[in-house]
């Protein structure tokens, strides 16, 4: 028997009380459990929403939909990522029709079409879902293992500039926005800027070669393993003595980088960094993308000239690092990064002589070989070139943290004829502190599988186990 008083107490009263949502934005299966009861006055109102496959690995890239404030009756629009960037293409246009209405605003007749309906277009991305999932899982595994704040990475096709994978951990389920926070929705590779550290040293070498004052075999005296610049001491991990350019990169010498910087015009290294795309947004033009900052030191700013040479005193995005290493791998040709399949909107351009670019790639091979800082990045059967970067995190209160680091690895394979570039970053790892131990293994795991998936021929004999 119905308790009328209880029913009346449960129902809303006052303005708007004629409408009471029983269930809001639920799946058709749940709605059916209520509608099948055929209650008088209970009706359904349908709405549509996106369903995202592989939601965690794609969340920050694809973005999400939100209700359009101008169309609260069910209109949705892209609020972040690709959904926002290509909202106009994806949504199309409803068009406009001149309608005759009566005094009660009931439509009586369509008179004529004022603006035609424009159907939405599909947007085909360059992302390979296999690599995307693999990259995310490796970033997640390394991030959890190192108890890091976050990790992010990219895989780029050297010859086209197409981004094959781009992901960040931690992520969220884009089919359930209740999991989304201000932190896990950030596409770190494109939005976050940071001091890159030693991954910038190849571009210091590029400036040296471009100057004509240096060749790959030029020797630089790093004795006694340190150098004083304007009251500051810049050190290497140990005294490397007389070294050439390849050893500078293999051992990541700050002293040799400093000596190159101080021997060149004050703007030489900064100009080379800009030439490789640092300091400007990439052609991806992703919503909220960072542009970074490259500052040109003055002639008397010797300490700044030094620090810029080994990746401090500037800000970059990981996407810029990927673009720059892709240009090196392509023999000095900058193929604009793209996320859209068959996008030819921006032309490629040569930014460095082929011979010089490939000589740097050859030098970078030593980094993944015995004696280098990233032996864990090596892949059996392939020549791998790359560079580690282990930099201190900035302390908001001034200076740098003494116990917090940022690890970056940028690499390419096969080095004899590079096909793919991979860049990875782990923020504030707590297990290990060096990039060669934290992020180089991520590169190895992802790139090894990528080379297999794309049937890239071996360029190095496979190792044979001792009998």
User: CA–CA separation, 19 vs 12, rounded Å?
Assistant: 9
How does pLDDT run across 319-337, given as a tens digit for each residue?
999 999 999 999 999 999 9
pLDDT tier at 109, thresholds 50, 70, 90? confident
Average pLDDT over residues 381-407: 95
What is the CATH classification number for the domain harbouring 320?
A: 3.40.710.10
Look at the chain and report how many structural domains it folds into: 1
Check 151, 171, 198, 326 and give the catalytic one.
198
Average pLDDT over residues 209-228: 97
pLDDT tier at 467, thresholds 50, 70, 90? very low
State the pLDDT at residue 129. 97
User: CA–CA separation, 365 vs 348, rounded Å?
Assistant: 26
Residue 43 lies in a domain: no
Overall residue count recorded for the chain in this entry: 467
What is the dihedral sign for C-alpha 34, 38, 43, 47? positive
Burial of 424 by CB count in 10 Å (0-12 exposed, 13-18 middle, 19+ buried)? buried
State the pLDDT at residue 48. 67
How does pLDDT run across 264-274, given as a tens digit for each residue?
999 999 999 99
Average pLDDT over residues 299-304: 95
- Whole-angstrom Cα Rg for the chain: 28
Tokens of 437: 């131990």
How does pLDDT run across 38-64, given as a tens digit for each residue?
877 777 877 667 788 899 999 999 999
DSSP per position, 164-186 = EEEEEES---TT-GGG--TTTT-
Contact criterion met (CB below 8 Å) for 86 and 78: yes
pLDDT tier at 465, thresholds 50, 70, 90? low
Burial of 207 by CB count in 10 Å (0-12 exposed, 13-18 middle, 19+ buried)? buried
pLDDT tier at 18, thresholds 50, 70, 90? low
What percent of the chain stands above pLDDT 70?
95
How does pLDDT run across 1-11, given as a tens digit for each residue?
467 777 777 76
- What region does 139 belong to: left with phi over 0, alpha with psi -120 to 50, or beta? alpha
State the pLDDT at residue 17. 62
Domain span at 273: 129-453
Average pLDDT over residues 109-113: 76
The answer on pLDDT for 447 being more than 90 is yes
Residue 53 lies in a domain: no
Residue 461 lies in a domain: no
Alpha helix positions (H), 40-115: 55-62, 81-85, 87-91
Contact criterion met (CB below 8 Å) for 352 and 206: yes
How far the first Cα of the chain sits from its last, in Å, is 86
Residue 271 lies in a domain: yes
The answer on pLDDT for 171 being more than 60 is yes
pLDDT tier at 227, thresholds 50, 70, 90? very high
User: CA–CA separation, 160 vs 419, rounded Å?
Assistant: 10
The answer on pLDDT for 118 being more than 80 is no
Pick from 409, 358, 415: nearest CA to 381: 415
Residue 2 lies in a domain: no
* Residue 233 backbone dihedrals phi, psi, to 5 degrees: -105, 120
Burial of 307 by CB count in 10 Å (0-12 exposed, 13-18 middle, 19+ buried)? buried
Rounded to the nearest angstrom, the gap between the alpha carbon of residue 340 and the centroid of all alpha carbons in its chain is 15
- Reported in sequence order, the residue ranges of 216-375 that DSSP labels E, i.e. its strands, are 220-221, 226-229, 232-235, 242-243, 333-334, 349-350
Contact criterion met (CB below 8 Å) for 377 and 415: no
State the pLDDT at residue 41. 73
Residue 115 lies in a domain: no
| pTM for the structure as a whole | 0.88
Residue 415 lies in a domain: yes
Burial of 398 by CB count in 10 Å (0-12 exposed, 13-18 middle, 19+ buried)? exposed
pLDDT tier at 306, thresholds 50, 70, 90? very high
Residue 248 lies in a domain: yes
Average pLDDT over residues 84-106: 81
State the pLDDT at residue 59. 95
198 catalytically annotated: yes
């Amino acid at each position: 028997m119905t308790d009328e008083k209880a029913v009346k107490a449960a129902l809303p009263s006052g303005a708007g009380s004629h409408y009471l949502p029983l269930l809001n934005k639920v799946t058709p299966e749940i709605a059916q459990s209520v509608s099948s009861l055929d209650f008088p006055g209970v009706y359904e109102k349908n709405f549509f929403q996106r369903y995202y496959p592989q939601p965690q690995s794609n969340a920050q890239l694809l973005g999400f939909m939100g209700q359009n404030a101008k169309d609260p009756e069910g209109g949705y629009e892209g609020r972040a990522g690709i959904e926002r960037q290509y909202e106009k293409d994806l949504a199309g246009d409803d068009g406009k029709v001149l309608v005759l209405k009566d005094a009660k605003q009931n439509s009586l007749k369509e008179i004529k079409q004022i603006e035609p309906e424009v159907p939405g277009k599909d947007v085909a991305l360059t992302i390979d879902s296999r690599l995307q999932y693999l990259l995310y899982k490796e970033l997640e595994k390394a991030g959890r293992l190192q108890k890091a704040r976050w990790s992010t990475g990219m895989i780029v096709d050297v010859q086209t500039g197409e981004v094959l994978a781009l992901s960040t951990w931690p992520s969220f389920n884009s089919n359930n926005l209740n999991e989304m926070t201000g932190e896990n929705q950030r596409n770190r590779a494109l939005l976050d800027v940071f001091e890159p550290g030693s991954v910038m040293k190849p571009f210091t070498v590029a400036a040296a070669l471009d100057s004509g004052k240096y060749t790959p075999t030029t020797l630089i005296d790093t004795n006694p393993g340190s150098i004083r610049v304007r009251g500051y001491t810049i050190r290497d991990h140990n005294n490397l003595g007389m070294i050439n350019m390849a050893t500078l990169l293999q051992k990541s010498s700050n002293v040799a980088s400093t000596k190159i910087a101080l021997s060149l015009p004050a703007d030489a290294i900064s100009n080379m960094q800009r030439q490789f795309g640092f300091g400007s947004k990439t052609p991806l033009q992703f919503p909220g993308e960072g542009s970074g900052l490259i500052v040109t030191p003055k002639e008397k700013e010797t300490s700044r000239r030094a620090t810029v040479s080994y990746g401090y005193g500037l800000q970059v995005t990981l996407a810029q690092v990927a673009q720059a290493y892709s240009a090196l791998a392509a023999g000095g040709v900058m193929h604009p990064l793209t996320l859209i399949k068959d996008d030819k909107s921006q032309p490629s351009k040569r930014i460095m002589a082929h011979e010089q670019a490939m000589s740097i790639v050859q030098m970078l091979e030593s980094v993944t070989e015995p004696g280098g800082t990233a032996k864990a990045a090596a892949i059996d059967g392939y020549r791998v070139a790359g560079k580690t970067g282990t930099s201190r995190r900035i302390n908001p209160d001034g200076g740098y943290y003494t116990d917090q680091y940022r690890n970056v690895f940028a690499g390419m394979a096969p080095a004899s004829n590079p096909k793919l570039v991979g860049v990875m970053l782990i923020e504030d790892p707590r297990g290990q502190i060096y990039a060669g131990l934290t992020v180089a293994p991520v590169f190895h795991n992802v790139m090894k599988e990528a080379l297999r998936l794309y049937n890239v021929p071996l360029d190095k004999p496979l190792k044979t186990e001792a009998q």
